[in-house]
Structure 1
Amino acid sequence: CSSVLQTARGYAKPVRRKRKDIPSHLDDLPPTMLKKDYANVPIVASVDDVVKRLLSLEMASQREKVKVKTQQLVEKVRRSPNDSGSFEVQVAILTARIRTLEEHLQRHPKDKSNRRQMLMAVDRRRKLLSYLRRVRYSTFENTCKQLDIQYSPPLAYRRRVTKRWAVKKAFCIKVFQEKQKLLAPERLKQRREWRAR
C-alpha cells in the first residue's frame, strides 16, 4: 500500500520548470549606481554605506532600473541638456520600453496585452525613424548606431490584381478618356482666347 501512496504522491507533485536565463538589457547597469531620483542629490555622498546600498540599484525594483536605463539611452542621443522631446529622445524612450516588453514576453509568451503594447511601440518607433530618415539622415544614422537599432524600410505597397479590379480600372480609364474628348473643344477655345489677349 505504501508504494501506491508514494507513486500517487509523485504524480501529485507540482512540476517545477527550470526558468530560462534570458539575458536582460539591464544587466550592464552597475549595482552600485544610484537610483534616478537620488543621483543628483548632494547629501548622498556623506551618507552611511547601508543607506547608499538602499538607494542603489542593488535594492531597486525593475521599474527603477528601467528608468535609469531609459535615462542612459536618452543621454546618448539628446541634442542638448534641456532636450526632452525631440524625435531622437522619443525613439530612445520607445527603445527602452520595447526591450523591456520583449524580455517580459520571452518569459510570458501568452501575455496578449503586453504583446499588443509592444507592437504599438514598435510601430510608433518605426514612424519616428522613417521621418528622421527623410528629414535628417545623419541624425537618423547616429540614432540607430547609438541605440543599436537595425532599421528596415517598409515594403512598397502592391495591390493584388484581381479580375474585378482590372475590369474596374479599365472602365475608369475609358470614362476618363471619353470625358477628355468632350472637354477638348472647350479647352482649345480657351487657349485661343488666351493667345489673343
Structure 2
Amino acid sequence: MFANIALRTVLKSSATVLRESGAVCSALSANTRTYSSALLSGGRRVSCVAGSFAVSPPVRHYARGAKKRKTTPEGLFSDLSPTMLKVDYTAVPLAQTTDDLVKRLLSLELASHSDKLKLKTEQMIEKVQRDKNDRSSVEVQVAMLTARIRNYQEHLQKHHKDIANKRRMLMAIDRRKKLLKNLRLVRYDAFEKVCEQLGITYTFPPEYYRRVTRRWLAKKAFCLKVFKAVQKQKAEQKMSSASTNTKAAETKA
C-alpha cells in the first residue's frame, strides 16, 4: 500500500516537471520564430498568431519643418528718432534748453500716433513745397495724401478687416491720382520731382476702363470697318464732284 502511494507521488512530480519543460520549450520556439521573422521583414516586428501574420507599422521619425519668419516691412515712423521734438515745439527756442525730463515730455518718446504722423507729414511737405509758406499747392496736397495713404497701409497690414479705413485709403489714392494726372499735364518737371522725392510709382491709366469681351471686340471691328467704308465713299463723292466742276468750267470757257 505504501509502495503504491509512493509510486503515485513520483508520477505526479514527473508529470509537473514535463509540463513546465514543455512550456519553456514552446516559449523559446516562439521567441526564435519572431526574431527570425523580424530579421526577414527588415527590422519590423512580426507576430504569428494561429497561422496569421500581423505586421506592426514602421516607426518614422519626420523632421519638424522650420517656421518661416514673416518679413515685416519698415514702418512709416522707422526713421523718426525718439529724441526729436514734436511739430509744435520745434520752432520754440526754450524747448532746446530745458532739462531732460521736459525734453522727454516734448519729444516723440512719449508722443501719440497722431503727433508722429503730423511730424512725418511735415517732413514730406518740406521736400516738395515751393516755398516756406506754401501750404495749398498741388505738390503739398500730394505729399499730405501720400502720408495719409501710407499710414492707412500700415494700419491695414495689422487690421485687414477694417473696411472703413480701407475705403478711406482708396478714396485718398483716387484723389492723389487725379492730382498727379493734372500736375503731369501742366508742370511735368514738378511732377517728376514729386514722384522722385516721395517715392511714388506713377502708373498710366488704361485706355479703356471697359472690360474687353469678344462681343465688344467684334463690335469695335465692325464699327471701324463701317467708318472706313463711309470715309472711302465720301472721298469718291468729292472726287466725282470735283471732276464735274472742272468739266463744267471747261465747257463754259
Given that 1:38 and 1:44 are in contact with CA atoms closer than 8 Å, whether structure 2 keeps it comes out as yes
Q: Does 1:125 align with 2:176?
A: yes
Alignment of 1:174-189 (within 5 A): none
Tell me by how many angstroms 1:22 deviates. Answer: 4.8
Tell me by how many angstroms 1:46 deviates. Answer: 2.3
Amino acid at match of 1:102: Q
Tell me by how many angstroms 1:164 deviates. Answer: 11
Identity %: 53
Indicate the residue corresponding to 2:162 in structure 1. Answer: 111
Given that 1:74 and 1:92 are in contact with CA atoms closer than 8 Å, whether structure 2 keeps it comes out as yes
**Partner Cα separation in structure 2 for residue 28 and residue 122 of structure 1:** 24
Residues 141 and 162 of structure 1: CA distance in aligned 2, closer, same or farther (over 3 Å): closer
Q: Does 1:155 align with 2:206?
A: yes
Higher RCO (CA-CA < 8 Å; seq separation 6+): 1
RMSD: 2.7
Given that 1:101 and 1:115 are in contact with CA atoms closer than 8 Å, whether structure 2 keeps it comes out as yes
Indicate the residue corresponding to 1:49 in structure 2. Answer: 100
Given that 1:73 and 1:92 are in contact with CA atoms closer than 8 Å, whether structure 2 keeps it comes out as yes
Amino acid at match of 1:132: L
Indicate the residue corresponding to 1:140 in structure 2. Answer: 191
CA distances 1:9-35 after superposition (whole Å, capped 9, x unpaired): xxxxxxxxx998552021001111100
Q: Does 1:90 align with 2:133?
A: no
**Partner Cα separation in structure 2 for residue 116 and residue 88 of structure 1:** 23
Amino acid at match of 1:43: L
Indicate the residue corresponding to 1:184 in structure 2. Answer: none
Amino acid at match of 2:105: L
Indicate the residue corresponding to 2:76 in structure 1. Answer: 25
Residues 163 and 72 of structure 1: CA distance in aligned 2, closer, same or farther (over 3 Å): closer
CA distances 1:128-181 after superposition (whole Å, capped 9, x unpaired): 001111111000000000001110110101644449967xx79xx8xxxxxxxx
Structure 2 unaligned runs (5+)?
A: 1-68, 228-253
Structure 1 unaligned runs (5+)?
A: 1-17, 174-197
**Partner Cα separation in structure 2 for residue 164 and residue 95 of structure 1:** 42
Amino acid at match of 1:57: L
Question: How many residues in Structure 1 have an aligned counterpart in Structure 2?
Answer: 157
Structure 1 residue runs of 4 or more that deviate by more than 4 Å after TM superposition: 18-22, 158-166
Residues 102 and 19 of structure 1: CA distance in aligned 2, closer, same or farther (over 3 Å): same
Amino acid at match of 1:107: K
> How high is the TM-score relative to the length of structure 1?
0.71
Tell me by how many angstroms 1:88 deviates. Answer: 0.3
Given that 1:22 and 1:103 are in contact with CA atoms closer than 8 Å, whether structure 2 keeps it comes out as no
**Partner Cα separation in structure 2 for residue 89 and residue 164 of structure 1:** 46
Tell me by how many angstroms 1:48 deviates. Answer: 1.1
**Partner Cα separation in structure 2 for residue 119 and residue 133 of structure 1:** 21
Amino acid at match of 2:171: M
Aligned pair partner of 2:90 in 16, 19, 39: 39
Given that 1:44 and 1:52 are in contact with CA atoms closer than 8 Å, whether structure 2 keeps it comes out as yes
